[in-house]
Amino acid sequence: MQTRPNWLNTAIFYEIYPQSFNDTNADGIGDIQGIIEKLDYIKGLGCNALWINPCFQSPFGDAGYDVEDYLTVAPRYGTNEDLAKLFQEAHKRDMHVLLDLVPGHTAVTHKWFKESMKAEKNEYTDRYVWTDSIWEEPGNMGCIRGISDRDGSCAVNFFSHQPALNYGFYQPDPEKKWQQSMDAPGPVATREAMKDVMRFWLKAGCDGFRVDMAGSLVKHDEEGRGTIQLWQNVREFLDKEFPAAVLVSEWGEPDKSLEGGFHMDFLLHFGPSHYNDLFRCDEPWFSGRGKGDITAFWEKYQESYRKSCGGLICIPSGNHDMDRMARRLDREEMKIAFAFLLTMPGAPFIYYGDEIGMRYVEGVTSVEGGYGRTGSRSPMQWDDSLNAGFSTASPARLYIPQDSAEDRPNVAAQIDDPDSLYSEVKRLIAFRQSHAALRNDGEIGFLQMNNYPLAYMRKSGEESLAVVINPSRESKVWECHAQLGQPLYNIEETLVRTDGGWLVPPCSAGVYQL
């Protein structure tokens, strides 16, 4: 297992979409100074680490995931100095910051790509995955062609304006000379260039990276073996030069990413995890209707946990790519969902605004390649002033229109209300942090897997706790004859002994001494 810095064992992350968090210069879009000014808010909630979505120079065809210059902060957010100041201000508060590294592709406007399109051979000729002829397509993701002097088609990694960087092919087809092996000079140079990017920001003071589409780099690599090797090589470099640097993968297959040297991987709305069954499907497991099915999720989770060799599997509350949790769950259901998220192992990740139940904004026109994701990226709602306190710009200038409902949730209304979602999340975080068994690296044992209720054990050293959750509106029986202590934390009623075991009240979540 990758050794990890101590702080990761108690890290609780807050994901910030910089466009939409806090605008301090009244241009309708969030900025780095805005994040600095809200660090105390984030710390007050109990989060002690940040993941910031890409904030680098970009044509913003994919909200910054189309990087034009990895080493320069986009002027709309501020300067490199502002970002360095954010690192310092976070560290002063004992908080850590992960940047978003996008190693799989760049924008078409990146200098590397412009050079790579030239007919004459140069340093960047092999920086991207190109075929030898405009008439040959590189693979099934589509390609960019017809805009270069060079003869060839360039593979894309996501949208059709995001050319795929060349890390080589795990098993190049000998008939296709353009498919280079992972150790060919072009792929090696790409890998080294990405290390330079990491070096640059780690020297500037960041604590590590969330890595975009980390599993996508090596081509023709169905099992991920080549990509795992690639990341092991990157980890070796980090261990030499920046041993404390943290890597979190957007891969969605922890058995692979953790072997690659990542400290943590996310469960995601894609991949085999069944994460969506819990929060984002027609009958989410956390809905009070009680018609969901958590069994496939648990099966996969247990399998990944067994294979994870102590690496961390993180279950986010949401992110900028998926519907807000509040699209399917109401406030009380979200409290129960957070009780789960904040008692599971792995570092919790809270997507900005989920702590107050911000809604998915329906019917907004796509902004910067957001499409259906745009509704989950609307500006943060701080209070009931103009633009919910996000910006003093005229509402028409906001990056994305806000939730227009009169009762839209905001921080100011919830922060002192003990009954609010915010207060529940804050209490849960404080509770988690005060129990060794609930730490990110505490063990988990699976006590009851038959859908409703859910019961699992968390353990560290001497401490063993049982977490028992029943989001449905009907009481459920947990067939367990163990003695339980008084509840250390509970939402709604506590368990009652019955002949068959324990009766778990409706819409409840509790943590008990085992």
**Region at 76 (left for phi over 0; alpha for psi -120 to 50; beta for the rest):** alpha
Alpha helix (H) residue ranges in 38-184: 39-45, 80-92, 111-116
CB of 320 to ligand NOJ, least distance (A): 6
* 164 near ligand NOJ (CB under 6 A): no
Judged by CB under 6 A, does residue 62 bind ligand NOJ? yes
What element of type H or E holds 7?
none
Residue (290 or 370) nearer to ligand NOJ, CB? 370
Looking at beta carbons only, is 248 or 421 nearer to ligand NOJ?
248
Work out whether 101 is an interface residue with ligand NOJ (CB under 6 A). no
Per DSSP, 360 falls in state P
Residue closer to ligand NOJ by CB (options 68, 424) is 68
* Residue 351 in the binding site for ligand NOJ (CB under 6 A): no
Q: Cβ closer to ligand NOJ: 158 or 351? A: 158
Tokens at 407, concatenated? 């009762």
d(CA 107, CA 154): 13
Which residue has the closest beta carbon to ligand NOJ?
Answer: 65
Asked if 478 touches ligand NOJ (CB under 6 A), the answer is: no
Q: What's the min distance (Å) between Cβ of 377 and ligand NOJ?
A: 9
List Cα–Cα distances, 295 to 72, 168, 249, 338, in angstroms.
Answer: 45, 38, 25, 19
Residues binding ligand NOJ: what is the number (CB under 6 A)? 9
Q: In this complex, which beta carbon is closest to ligand NOJ, that of residue 63 or of residue 73?
A: 63
Considering the complex, state which of residue 102 and residue 507 has its C-beta at the smaller distance from ligand NOJ. Answer: 102
Closer residue to ligand NOJ, CB minimum distance, 212 or 323:
212
Q: Is 275 exposed, middle or buried (0-12, 13-18, 19+ CB in 10 A)?
A: buried
Nearer to ligand NOJ, 158 or 382 (CB): 158
Q: Are 177 and 138 in contact (CB under 8 A)?
A: no
CB neighbours of residue 502 within 10 Å: 23
Q: Does 198 bind ligand NOJ (CB under 6 A)?
A: no
Q: Which two tokens stand for residue 65?
A: 């995931």
333 binds ligand NOJ (CB under 6 A): no
Kindly tell me which residue out of 27, 37, 82, 321 binds ligand NOJ, with binding defined by CB under 6 A: 321
CB of 503 to ligand NOJ, least distance (A): 42
Does residue 158 touch ligand NOJ according to CB under 6 A? yes
Alpha-carbon span 18 to 36, nearest angstrom:
11
279 binds ligand NOJ (CB under 6 A): no
Quick one: which of 453, 465, 496, 502 has its CA closest to 481? 502
Q: What is the DSSP string of 141-181?
A: T-EE-SS-SSSS-EEBSSSTT-BBB---BSS--TT-TTS-B
Applying the rule CB under 6 A, the residues between 236 and 255 that interact with ligand NOJ are 250
Q: Which of 83, 213, 218, 267 binds ligand NOJ (CB under 6 A)?
A: 213
Strand partners, 497: 502
Site for ligand NOJ contains 32 (CB under 6 A): no
Give the whole-angstrom CA distance, residue 209 versus residue 257. Answer: 14
**Distance in Å, CB of 85 to ligand NOJ, minimum:** 26
Rounded to the nearest whole angstrom, what is the least distance from the CB of residue 141 to ligand NOJ in the complex?
12
**Rg of the chain over CA atoms, in angstroms?**
23
Tell whether residue 102 is a contact of ligand NOJ (CB under 6 A): yes
> Interface residues for ligand NOJ in 366-405 (CB under 6 A)?
none
47 versus 165: smaller Cβ distance to ligand NOJ:
165
Provide the token pair at 358.
């911000």
Q: Is 217 in the site for ligand NOJ (CB under 6 A)?
A: no
Tokens of 29: 């879009």
Q: Which residue number, 164 or 437, has a Cβ lying nearer to ligand NOJ?
A: 164
Please state the three-class secondary structure of 259-301 as a single string.
CCCCCEEECCCCCCCCCHHHHCCCCCCCCCCCCCCCHHHHHHH
Residue 330 half-sphere exposure, CB side, CA atoms within 13 Å?
A: 7
Nearer residue to ligand NOJ within complex by CB, 14 or 422: 14
Per the CB < 8 A criterion, the answer to whether 461 and 436 are in contact is yes
CB of 302 to ligand NOJ, least distance (A): 26
Instruction: Please report how close the Cβ of residue 252 comes to ligand NOJ at its closest, in angstroms.
Output: 11
Q: Does residue number 265 form part of the binding site for ligand NOJ (CB under 6 A)?
A: no
What's the closest the beta carbon of residue 329 comes to ligand NOJ, in angstroms?
22
Interface residues toward ligand NOJ, by CB under 6 A: 62, 65, 102, 158, 212-213, 250, 320-321
